[in-house]
Amino acid sequence: MQPQENAEPYDQSDLFRLRHTAAHVMAQAVLELFPGAKIGIGPPIVDGFYYDFDLGADEDGHPRTFTPADLERIEKRMRQIIAGKFPLRYRVVTADEARDLFKDQPYKLEIIEGLLRGEFNEYGDDVEDMARAVENLVISTYRHDTFEDLCKGPHVAHTGLIPVDAFQLTGTAAAYWRGDQSRPMLQRIYGTAWHSKKDLKRHLQLLDEAKKRDHRKLSRELELYIMDEEIGPGLPLWLPNGNILREELEKLAREMEDAGGYQRVATPHIAKEEFFRHSGHLPFFAESMYPPMEREDTRYYLKPMNCPFHHKIYASKPRSYRDLPLRLAEYGMVYRYEQSGELFGLMRVRASEQNDAHIYCAEDQVEAEFMTVIDLYRRYFELFGIERFVMRLSLHDRKRLGVKYADDEAAWLKAEEIVRRVMRRAEVPFVEARGEAAFYGPKIDVQAWSVIGREFSLATNQVDFVQPARFGLTFTNRDGQPEMPYCIHRAPLGTHERFIGFLIEHYGGNFPVWLAPEQARVIPITDDHHDYARRVAAEMEEAGIRVRADLGSDRMGAKIRDAQLMKVPYMAIVGGQEAAAGTLAVRYRDGEQRNDMPLGEFVAHVRRRIKTRSPEL
Ligand code: ZN
């Protein structure tokens, strides 16, 4: 485990300035090459930058898009502007000057009016504190050469500081103006910029590797899941191979939870509207929920979370301090209406199965319980070889108490302090984010990086003092008095969907033996060896190994290639010599090979790997 490397915030770094300036240079190039273009916004982003443009409509009335040839021309013009070493000049302008400057740029005009009303910032993002935004309003621009943009910086001193061989336009995408599907569709150009050609090359290699590891692509090749338009977007169907991953993860979670004193429960997928009002999911969480269904004058909702169901189980009988902590666990299906534009493979779906549990405990037990949860996270991360992660502690925002957050600031502060103390004591790397909490308590999200450095948000964890109160949960304390328990929500593996999506990319499909849908494949050298192949497979199967004997009509070479494509950890090649000696020629997924391996020895080896959930072959 290592803390996050760069202490300097990205938006104050040299790379941020470089990329921000590259975005301006790109906008100038586009305006010169497409004189009628309207410009949207163009911020730096992780690893690069983009800018949004409106090129008007083509002959068929569709939005005109950028072609690869366009990108080449734009890049070429950018190099010329860079070579011009034009200084970036900052100036403050009045509202009227700004309106005049951008009189031909309707999107900029909209932003100027938004700025004046305190509604959004230069990037069109909504502002939380409008009064303060208006009070502190400064309208500023940055200008270089012929291009001037509504902008508060920062930038590099002159365009020549963008290394001419270390930037590249990487692609285009459609993007709605201000992310709103009812607004015009703009054309976004993505670019990346680095300090040196070497950095750029490394980045492009990583992108390439990420593409190869894309979980949607690998899932097709390895037959893990499918989506079916007729069923609906964001609703994955797990194929037999993918379902093995789910079951192995669930088995792991069950073992961990059994050892941790959890009890398993199961709850239905729907409940009445009143129930979700009671829990506060309505209205706080309404926009993420499916609309209700009605039957005999009663409205039902699909559950977006398992929590309130577990609260009911807690409340189903009187509890004493001796019963606490009470830990209820469930792999529960939840349904959330993600916007169409946000759906993404397994990463964002509309139905997902959560590795959920709720720990009910007395106030003086919260710290110890929370610590155990953090330890659980660490054990999972170690098992999966997740070396780089950071936890984000999301806090309430006092300005939104009663709107987004339960209205009890003292309780918020207390719960936040408990969580903060545990994180410090556990020496877990964490950052704090105000205004990102769940409506019922401070939340910890885990950002993890896969081995190739792609960032994922995986698990969540909350300390809840609101729902126990809403449900009137109590226990009888040592003094015989009723007391309210705290509730710790934890889902260290998040959802099956996202976690498996992460694992596919993390391992590049080369799952460790215990997870691999097919652990070994037996390949006979010729048809004469089918009997022995069958016997070998039967023996492995008996030993609990997921194995298949490939008795098809393909030649051995084709069978080996097929097993390689499916990333099977072991191939057991068998011919006359092996049959006579009761051995195997074992080919490992990484290319290693061992001949004359006694069958019993191989079986014992694979079983050991499975049992210890070893990352080794
Ligand atoms: Zn919960």
pLDDT of 136 reads 84
What is d(CA 205, CA 452) in angstroms, rounded to the nearest whole number? 10
Report the candidate in 138, 159, 31 with the shortest Cα–Cα distance to residue 88. 159
Q: Choose, from 356, 397, 445, 550, the residue flagged as catalytic.
A: 356
Contact 526, 592 (CB under 8 A): no
Give 26-47 pLDDT, tens digit per residue: 999 999 999 999 999 999 998 8
pLDDT of 4 reads 42
What is d(CA 414, CA 22) in angstroms, rounded to the nearest whole number? 45
What is d(CA 455, CA 82) in angstroms, rounded to the nearest whole number? 31
Run of H or E including 75:
helix 68-83
What is d(CA 465, CA 340) in angstroms, rounded to the nearest whole number? 33
Report the candidate in 352, 335, 342, 306 with the shortest Cα–Cα distance to residue 497. 352
- 217 beta partners: none
The structure tokens 């339960």 sit at: 406
Quote the strand ranges of 56-161, DSSP E: 89-92, 140-144, 147-150
Q: Edge-to-edge strands of the sheet including 547-549?
A: 547-549, 520-524, 570-574, 583-588, 593-598
Asked if 589 is an active-site residue, the reply is no
Q: Which residues in the chain land under pLDDT 50?
A: 1-6
What is d(CA 522, CA 606) in angstroms, rounded to the nearest whole number? 14
Domains and CATH numbers, the chain: 10-213 (3.30.980.10), 234-271+303-507 (3.30.930.10), 520-611 (3.40.50.800)
pLDDT of 5 reads 42
Measured torsion, CA atoms of residues 248, 253, 257, 258, in degrees rounded to the nearest 10: 0
Asked if 354 is an active-site residue, the reply is yes
Determine the distance separating the centroid of ligand 1 and the alpha carbon of 307, expressed in angstroms: 4
Determine the distance separating the centroid of ligand 1 and the alpha carbon of 449, expressed in angstroms: 24
Asked if 358 is an active-site residue, the reply is yes
Q: Choose, from 213, 489, 490, 521, the residue flagged as catalytic.
A: 489
Q: Choose, from 319, 443, 506, 587, the residue flagged as catalytic.
A: 443
Determine the distance separating the centroid of ligand 1 and the alpha carbon of 127, expressed in angstroms: 29
Determine the distance separating the centroid of ligand 1 and the alpha carbon of 309, expressed in angstroms: 9
Asked if 307 is an active-site residue, the reply is yes
Asked if 336 is an active-site residue, the reply is yes
pLDDT of 413 reads 87
Q: Is the pTM of this model over 0.75?
A: yes
Q: Choose, from 354, 462, 467, 519, the residue flagged as catalytic.
A: 354
